[in-house]
Structure 1
Amino acid sequence: MTPAYTAAAVLAETAEHHEGGMVWWAAALLTFGAIAALAVVLTLMTLWERKRHPHAHH
């Protein structure tokens, strides 16, 4: 069970119980949140690499 699969299952459950406009923005928010988190992690990893190798030029 991956977190993404769990989130999709939860959203599917929510969609069944609450027909209407709440579902699409919840899904959009979840997707945006996942992308934002990934971007932050990648940025931090890049900064960490630069700190470890200040004089390395690729």
Structure 2
Amino acid sequence: MSDDEFMKLVKLAQTESDVEAMNAIFQYFDQDIKRLSKFIRMPEEDAIQNMKTELLELIMKK
């Protein structure tokens, strides 16, 4: 994904609360989130959900 495409998704998520844009962003980071979740001392599903929540908050914060 190019930087321009990524920024378009971020803007859609921020301004229009576009669920499809957020899903595309989560999909983009999916492998990284799964890999990093193995280093967090909590159940993997909880770690993944926590990282997705933090990512969502970061994007919506502008």
TM-score bin (small chain): 0.3 to 0.5
Larger radius of gyration: 1
Q: Structure 1-normalised TM-score? A: 0.36
- Indicate the structure whose relative CO is greater, using CA pairs within 8 Å and at least 6 residues apart: 2
TM-score, normalised via structure 2 length? 0.34
